[in-house]
């Protein structure tokens, strides 16, 4: 006689309330949901925040009503407020896929859930961060027939770790409550890099700009970028990069003034999102200025530029010994989760 597989529920309070429930479904229902998963249609989705395959919304799929019933029952058992509305979609992460740090705060979401169909040993963990979104606190591995529930709040920072191989399979969604979430996400911004009390030691390179086009390119400009690491910077909901000492160079340009300068080491796995402070709405005519130091043999596409309609229009390669001026009122930019490494400096200049 086969021994009965027992469901086990573990509750955790840190970094925020969450539950890990193993053997969530009886084997018969687990086999059923695996067959349903294999019959679904998936669509590749990619923005600055994520890259993976996903189905359309499944909450009206009658074949999955049994699974929704299980979710409602566990909500009652755990005293989790949940309305009849349960969002649901299936996901498939293949090699190179990921979901970067975010908090899930939207509308009436109360708890988020992920239900895993297979053991997956190649990354893809559910990573949880501290309340200030700048330190990893916990990573939950992907295990067969396991449900993870966590409370959605302004500190529920989490991500899906980079996947090294194809095949991370899950159902994911949200349990809702009656009242809308209205607490603000409070994350402190990284302060602008300061030069100190004087500009001694600063090297000024004069650039002649006769016409303020949307894209301006200067070739054959060489200076070293000091790679001495200052610290890793976040918050990870906006960026994950290493702040470095950088160069002592600024550009002297007629009718333009320097507003901001930051120097970064972009490591494999680093990123900068459209929500970053560099992409705050500009009420004045300004330019992003980029200088790279490529640490690999060939130039690689690193930065993507998005127009006001949210469409990617072009990319910048990490070509050394050149400088790019890009109209900051026309485009925003991001670095998707990088698979390469380089040094870069970013300036923001305003037209007087």
Apex 275 CA angle, 273 and 278, nearest 5: 85
Strand partners, 322: 219
Cis peptide before 15 (omega within 30 of 0): yes
Residues 57-76: tens digit of each pLDDT? 999 999 999 999 999 999 99
pLDDT at 180: 78
Strands 86-93 and 168-176: antiparallel
pLDDT at 193: 35
Q: What is the mean pLDDT of residues 240-259?
A: 94
Q: What are phi and psi of 65, to 5 degrees?
A: -60, -35
Place 184 in a pLDDT band, splitting at 50, 70 and 90: low
Q: What is the mean pLDDT of residues 268-297?
A: 89
* pTM over cut 0.75: yes
Place 281 in a pLDDT band, splitting at 50, 70 and 90: confident
DSSP states of 226-238: EEEEEEEE--TTT
Is the C-alpha dihedral spanning 222, 223, 228, 233 positive or negative? negative
Residue 194 has pLDDT above 50, yes or no: no
pLDDT at 320: 84
Residue 283 has pLDDT above 80, yes or no: no
pLDDT at 30: 98
pLDDT at 263: 95
> Worst-scoring range by mean pLDDT, 19-33, 193-207, 242-256?
193-207
Domains of the chain: 8-176 (2.60.120.620), 203-351 (2.60.120.620)
Torsion of CA 249, 255, 261, 263, to 10 degrees: -50
pLDDT at 3: 58
Residue 197 has pLDDT above 50, yes or no: no
Strands 158-160 and 168-176: unpaired
Kindly state the percentage of the chain with pLDDT values over 70.
93
> Worst-scoring range by mean pLDDT, 18-22, 97-101, 203-207, 261-265?
203-207
Distance CA 290, CA 267 (A): 17
Q: What are phi and psi of 63, to 5 degrees?
A: -65, -20
Q: What is the mean pLDDT of the chain?
A: 91
pLDDT at 350: 93
Distance CA 66, CA 151 (A): 23
Distance CA 302, CA 344 (A): 10
Strands 249-253 and 203-207: parallel
Distance CA 46, CA 320 (A): 28
Q: What are phi and psi of 50, to 5 degrees?
A: -150, 165
Place of tokens 């990490």: 318
List all residues 6 or more positions away from 202 whose beta carbon is below 8 Å from its beta carbon: 195, 248, 249, 250
Residues 326-344: tens digit of each pLDDT? 999 999 999 999 999 999 9
Place of tokens 């529930």: 149
pLDDT at 82: 82
């Amino acid at each position: 006689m086969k021994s009965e597989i027992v469901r086990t529920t573990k509750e955790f309070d840190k970094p925020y309330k969450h539950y890990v429930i193993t053997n969530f479904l009886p084997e018969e229902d687990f086999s059923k949901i695996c067959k349903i998963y294999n019959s679904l249609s998936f669509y590749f989705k990619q923005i600055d925040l994520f890259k993976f395959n996903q189905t359309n919304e499944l909450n009206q799929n009658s074949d999955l009503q049994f699974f929704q019933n299980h979710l409602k029952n566990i909500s009652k058992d755990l005293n989790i407020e949940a309305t009849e509305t349960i969002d649901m979609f299936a996901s498939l992460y293949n090699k190179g896929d990921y979901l970067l740090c975010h908090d899930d705060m939207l509308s009436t979401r109360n708890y988020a859930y992920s239900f895993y169909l297979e053991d997956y040993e190649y990354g893809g963990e559910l990573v949880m961060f501290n309340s200030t979104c700048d330190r990893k606190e916990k990573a939950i591995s992907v295990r067969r027939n396991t449900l993870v529930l966590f409370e959605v709040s302004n500190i529920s920072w989490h991500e899906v770790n980079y996947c090294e191989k194809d095949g991370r399979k899950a159902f994911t969604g949200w349990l809702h409550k009656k009242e809308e979430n209205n607490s603000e996400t409070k994350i402190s911004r990284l302060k602008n890099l300061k030069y100190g009390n004087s500009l001694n030691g600063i090297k000024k390179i004069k650039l002649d700009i006769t016409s303020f086009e949307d894209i301006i390119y200067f070739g054959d400009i060489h200076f070293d970028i000091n790679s001495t690491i200052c610290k890793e910077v976040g918050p990870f909901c906006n960026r994950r990069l290493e702040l470095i000492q950088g160069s002592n160079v600024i550009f002297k340009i007629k009718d333009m003034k320097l507003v901001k300068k930051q120097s970064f080491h972009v490591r494999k796995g680093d990123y900068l999102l459209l929500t970053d402070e560099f992409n705050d709405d500009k009420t004045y005519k300004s330019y992003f200025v980029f200088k790279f130091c490529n640490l690999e043999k060939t130039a690689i596409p690193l930065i993507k530029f998005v127009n006001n309609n949210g469409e990617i229009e072009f990319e910048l390669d990490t070509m050394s010994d050149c400088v790019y001026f890009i109209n900051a009122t026309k485009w925003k930019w991001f670095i998707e989760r990088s698979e390469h490494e380089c040094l870069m400096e970013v300036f923001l200049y305003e037209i007087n």
